[in-house]
Amino acid sequence: MDQHATGRTEGDGGRPRATRLPPSTEPDKAAASGAPVQEPLEAFAEASAGVADEAGLVDRATGGDEEALCALLSHFGPIVRERLKSKIGPQWRASLDEDDVMQVTYLEAFLLIGQFKHRGSGSFLAWLSQVAENNLRDALRGLQAAKRPNPKRRVQVSRPNENSFVALVELLGATNSTPSRAAARDESERMIEDVLSGLPPDYERVVRLYDLEGRSAQEVAEQLGRSTGAIYMLRARAHEKMRGALGSASQFFTDPG
């Protein structure tokens, strides 16, 4: 897999030069609110002009051709990265930068490309930009929450008689009522383990360390060699996929009666 899809890169060496698009207005407010500024598709079309046969590359990429996807990311990734620079406030720079966001965005692109629908020139750049905006939003939310933590939103494995798997199921909102603590414990553990086994490795490790072992974001970041901002992004993406996999409580909790 291409380095652009798997990790941080040093500079732009070897990557196609791309036209920089103007940043949106009030970027920090837009990203932190969870409602990124939506730009018309035409705003992205100019940057797409430098890609030969964008439609053909997208068609191959959505069909599973990783080389085609890498070609698209090599061209459009630097453009998205430039757009992110002005959207990360100085107060977050110690915990997050645009490369952190792009690492997770490249991973998400490989996971989600099969769902992408090409709608003409500029649509891939618009899609990749939205994925990056979502990741930035999650990182900022996590960093903001860390300054005013809500104890009800953390899985606390150190409390007596508390089971981290049951607590994680409840945190994900997969059930509104647990049958009995004893009955739920085994089923929660089984289901969480099944779901975790289907996640990308980085997602799985973040959930295990942060949610199930109760480590701090800083500890997880140090262990995984990531920034704290990246940990919040990975956790948010993992939780989203876990919610989809778990479904409603009736799908996996037995009736204790």
Q: What is the CATH number of the domain that holds 190?
A: 1.10.10.10
The model's pLDDT over 13-45, given as tens digits with 9 standing for 90+, comes to: 333 333 333 333 233 333 333 333 456 666 676
| 89 and 177 part of one domain | no
- For residue 201, the enclosing domain spans 151-251
Residue 256 falls inside a structural domain: no
| 84 and 64 part of one domain | yes
Instruction: Please give the backbone phi and psi of residue 135, each rounded to the nearest 5 degrees, phi first.
Output: -65, -40
Report the pLDDT value the prediction gives residue 161, as an integer from 0 to 100.
38
| 141 and 103 part of one domain | yes
| 182 and 135 part of one domain | no
Residue 257 falls inside a structural domain: no
Q: Which helix (H) or strand (E) holds 163?
A: none
Report the pLDDT value the prediction gives residue 241, as an integer from 0 to 100.
92
| 157 and 182 part of one domain | yes
| 73 and 140 part of one domain | yes
Residue 29 falls inside a structural domain: yes
Residue 85 amino acid letter: K
The model's pLDDT over 169-205, given as tens digits with 9 standing for 90+, comes to: 878 876 544 455 555 677 778 888 999 999 999 999 9
Report the pLDDT value the prediction gives residue 165, as an integer from 0 to 100.
83
Report the pLDDT value the prediction gives residue 191, as an integer from 0 to 100.
85
| 123 and 163 part of one domain | no
Q: What is the pLDDT along the chain (257 residues), one digit of tens a residue?
A: 443 444 433 333 333 333 333 333 233 333 333 333 456 666 676 666 667 788 999 999 999 999 999 999 999 999 999 999 999 999 999 999 999 999 999 999 999 999 999 888 889 999 999 999 999 999 999 999 888 755 555 554 444 335 788 888 878 876 544 455 555 677 778 888 999 999 999 999 999 999 999 999 999 999 999 999 999 999 999 999 998 888 744 344 444 33
Report the pLDDT value the prediction gives residue 46, as an integer from 0 to 100.
65
Report the pLDDT value the prediction gives residue 42, as an integer from 0 to 100.
63
What angle is formed at CA 101 by the lines to CA 28 and CA 132, rounded to 5 degrees? 70
Instruction: Please say which residue of 146, 173, 190 terminates a domain.
Output: 146
Residue 174 falls inside a structural domain: yes
Q: Give the CA distances from residue 180 to residues 31, 35, 172, in Å, rounded to whole numbers and listed in that order.
A: 40, 39, 18
| 74 and 196 part of one domain | no
Report the pLDDT value the prediction gives residue 84, as an integer from 0 to 100.
95
Residue 16 amino acid letter: P
The helix/strand count (H/E) of the chain reads as 12, 0
Instruction: Please say which residue of 121, 146, 171 terminates a domain.
Output: 146
Residue 69 falls inside a structural domain: yes
Say which CATH number the domain at 82 has: 1.10.1740.10
- Structural domains counted in the chain: 2
The angle, 0 to 180 degrees and rounded to 10, between the axes of the packed helices 228-246 and 217-224 is 100
| 110 and 9 part of one domain | yes
| 94 and 131 part of one domain | yes
Report the pLDDT value the prediction gives residue 110, as an integer from 0 to 100.
96
| 31 and 131 part of one domain | yes
